[in-house]
Amino acid sequence: MTLKNYRPITPSTRQLKTVDYTKILTKGVEPEKSLLSVRKRTGGRNNTGRITTRHHGGGHKRKLRTIDFKRDKEAIDAVVASIEYDPGRSAFVSLVNYKDGEKRYILAYEGVKVGDVIRSGKTANFRPGHSMALKDMPVGSVVHNIELAAGLGGKMVRSAGQSAQLVAKQEDGFVVIRLPSSEMRLIHENCRATFGVVSNSSHNTQVVGKAGRSRWMGIRPTVRGTAMNPVDHPHGGGEGRHNGYRLETPWAVPTKGYKTRKKNKHSSMYIISRRKK
């Protein structure tokens, strides 16, 4: 997938780089209304009106697409009807039509084309877009949309351009997965995953170009702590520019290398090796 460069006719287009949607998205297609829902915005505020999440607010109005992360409709072929943009995620989505008439959105995989036939379950093929349990997949498979618990839907490896690899199968009912972060993790063999790489691999190479585009996405300005006064931030004050001396958040929690993972977290027993620094 290629990036689209713009002529520098304005300051905002001088550095602007966006994904060329014309080469992947289906033209002239409206979202499936039965799979849309309203997205309520909070502006980062809680029920008392106080900001609990900074730098949220504004942005263009969006609607949520109901995505089928479970892929539990087995032994029925589905045809990719369209490839669409989803404002709520970095990857594209595909509208698939099942032979029994049902329509669902799924995460679009790299190389998807309109007319592709996909399937879920044991009878599925070892090809991108097909979904099955990890125990039925061959070792070395490249997968995405991985479940953490059987039947609850995919939770991991869902963002643009990401993929994991099935490294090994064990006799105790677990398989070893290498995640994009290089972490090695045990996942139960009955959990489902989808073959292939998530679409829109060029997403992380885009250049926003101007602050206004961030505001369109609902991101408010972020002020550096070193630019504040001592009353506003632990990094504030001092003479001239400095690194903050005390590397803390505004709430005096150590940062930049301070580990916050709980020592007795339940999922630690499933992690074989942590991600590389």
Q: Domain residue spans in the chain?
A: 3-27+43-204
For residue 155 the two structure tokens come to 């939770």
pLDDT at 257: 87
pLDDT at 225: 93
Q: Are 219 and 211 contacting, i.e. CB atoms less than 8 angstroms apart?
A: no
pLDDT at 249: 93
CATH 2.40.50.140 assigned to 3-27+43-204: yes
What is the rounded distance in angstroms from the CA atom of residue 77 to the CA atom of residue 233?
A: 57
pLDDT at 170: 93
How far, rounded to the nearest angstrom, does the alpha carbon of residue 137 sit from its chain's CA centroid? 23
Q: Which residues of 210-239 are buried (b: 16+ CB within 10 A; e: fewer)?
A: beeebeeebbeeeeebeeeeeeebbbbeee
Q: What's the predicted TM-score (pTM) here?
A: 0.90
Sequence-ordered alpha helix ranges (H) in 167-247: 211-216
Q: Are 150 and 190 contacting, i.e. CB atoms less than 8 angstroms apart?
A: yes
What is the rounded distance in angstroms from the CA atom of residue 107 to the CA atom of residue 69?
A: 8
What is the rounded distance in angstroms from the CA atom of residue 40 to the CA atom of residue 255?
A: 31
What is the rounded distance in angstroms from the CA atom of residue 117 to the CA atom of residue 80?
A: 6
Q: Are 84 and 93 contacting, i.e. CB atoms less than 8 angstroms apart?
A: yes
Q: Are 133 and 191 contacting, i.e. CB atoms less than 8 angstroms apart?
A: yes
pLDDT at 246: 86
pLDDT at 1: 64
Q: Are 236 and 228 contacting, i.e. CB atoms less than 8 angstroms apart?
A: yes
Classify residue 105 as exposed, middle or buried by CB count within 10 Å of its CB (0-12, 13-18, 19+): buried
For residue 171 the two structure tokens come to 């006799």
Give the largest CA-CA distance in the chain.
70
Question: In the chain, which stretches have pLDDT less than 70?
Answer: 1
User: Could you read off the pLDDT of 83-124 as tens digits, one per residue?
Assistant: 999 999 999 999 999 999 999 999 999 999 999 999 999 999
